[in-house]
Structure 1
């Protein structure tokens, strides 16, 4: 339109700043088709700094899968191929990756990311088999800048994983998982994660003794989330120990389950 600027005439830096707020589906299937300048901007590594794969539908019948196959003229869709495309466009500047919970991710994908994303700061792991969990310590030790790690359940290699984090990830400050938190787990959290600022153990089996140990031992903790846990009640001593923490969320936690059964011997992991 006469007298009005067009979107494609926007300076590249401004366009990149806008596009990096979009999700991966838009960056792969919508934005590049608008015009040449938008396509060029969508390929900038800053647009691929955060790879949130968890919000995408990778099912064979999903819109993303079918549209991606049509656009790139593929006979079959492979999650690994999509991941490699996204990581390549990040040009070793990727800082955050959130893997799908259940679909598609293999240990080969995780090792690929450990090699190609050296600047990773935040990692959200998928569900892994017990056999694959043994390799987690080898992975985390490669990310020197790792600050935050999230997983669905405490892995069998938990203690070894924290040892690797302690040795190699000097900026590590956030952990989220659930599971049966034993005394040795509590001691490892306290002793091996000295700069821990955020800890989420919601829906875990967390005995009162372990909770008090975390409250007393994690000196830099700013937020502790232990909602809907089994093994403790937020009594006066627990609340008093938590006064030094900026955010202490413990709602829904209780000592026994609904059947009045103390799960002290339960370790689902």
Structure 2
């Protein structure tokens, strides 16, 4: 990147700023109003450094802020300095919202974070991830962010996300730009997948995973995710069915109905027999994960 004709190394600038501002944030977090007289008084060199950082163009600060996690933006980033507090009120800071919690934040606080982040995006959010999603949350999000391209959802109430699939059917017409959909512990229905196929013509990546073991009696029930996907999502390039009951019949339908598949993940789909020609077809893909492949790299956040 060039600013005023000079070449800037963003990585070096980022490392220096993080070290400087982390120290600033640490002092802010330890602030005790009852001990004002003992506060650290900045040296002349520290004041000069702070002035130098504040003179950086906003474009560089934007590159920095996109590297700060959503949780940190909501909890503490505004304490760094007045400039950060101002920039965090602008929509560009919220184009990517990731509320997958690995810190056991109480649900009530996460719900507050959800509304604050979505409102601050002012409709510019394109990538959204949320680990406590209910039907009302999904409707609120899609109503305000009509340009969503990537959506990661995990259900939380009513039997691991049962309300979500009915809401997905209703909001599908507003997800025209959606390219990737990841549903974790959110059960779907054939009608839901059909709605996605009708209203989301750009959807090329689809992932379904849940860890609640279910028993099905008929072949149709076992393939109730695979068969509708094969019939209504022909443009899929990447497809994941984690811990799914599909059989060879459903897999054959997917391979025929989705000819553009380059990535197929079937981990923990224990009802599949991939010893024949269909297994060879799968293994010829650029990226194929077998039923018994390790789950160690699978992202599962609460």
**Structures share fold, TM-score greater than 0.5:** yes
Whether 2:143 is the aligned partner of 1:111: answer no
Other structure's SS at 2:239 match: strand
Q: Is the 8 A contact 1:21 1:47 kept in 2?
A: no
Q: Which of 51, 62, 71 pairs up with 1:16? A: 62
Map of 1:122 onto structure 2:
150
Quick check: 45-54 or 34-43, which moved more? Answer: 34-43
Q: Is the 8 A contact 1:183 1:210 kept in 2?
A: yes
| Alpha-carbon distance, 1:251 to partner | 4.3
| Alpha-carbon distance, 1:31 to partner | 2.3
Q: Is the 8 A contact 2:95 2:126 kept in 1?
A: yes
Q: Which of 222, 229, 237 pairs up with 1:189? A: 229
Quick check: 241-250 or 158-167, which moved more? Answer: 241-250
Length-normalised TM-score, structure 2: 0.69
Whether 2:243 is the aligned partner of 1:203: answer yes
Length-normalised TM-score, structure 1: 0.77
Q: How does 1:83-232 map to 2 (within 5 A)?
A: 83-100=114-131, 103=132, 105-127=133-155, 128-129=157-158, 132=163, 133-153=165-185, 155=187, 157-178=188-209, 182-183=222-223, 185-232=225-272
More helix by share: 2
Other structure's SS at 1:164 match: helix
Listed as ranges, the gaps of 5+ residues in structure 1 are: 66-76, 254-269
Listed as ranges, the gaps of 5+ residues in structure 2 are: 1-44, 211-215, 294-302
* Distance in 1 between residues matched to 2:67 and 2:90, nearest whole Å: 13
Whether 2:262 is the aligned partner of 1:233: answer no
Structure (1 or 2) with the larger CA radius of gyration? 2
Other structure's SS at 2:209 match: coil
Quick check: 126-135 or 187-196, which moved more? Answer: 126-135
Q: Which of 62, 71, 82 pairs up with 2:113? A: 82
Map of 2:84 onto structure 1:
38
Other structure's SS at 2:246 match: coil
* Distance in 2 between residues matched to 1:106 and 1:188, nearest whole Å: 23
Other structure's SS at 1:112 match: helix
* Distance in 2 between residues matched to 1:7 and 1:56, nearest whole Å: 31
Query: 1:75-107 CA deviation, whole Å, 9 max, x = no partner?
Result: xx554332121012111011111112xx4x432
| Alpha-carbon distance, 1:249 to partner | 1.1
Question: How has the CA–CA distance of structure 1 residues 3 and 21 changed in structure 2, closer, same or farther, with 3 Å as cutoff?
Answer: closer
Give every structure 1 segment of 4 or more consecutive aligned residues whose post-TM-superposition deviation is greater than 6 Å: none
Other structure's SS at 1:201 match: strand
Map of 1:68 onto structure 2:
none
Alignment length (residue pairs):
234
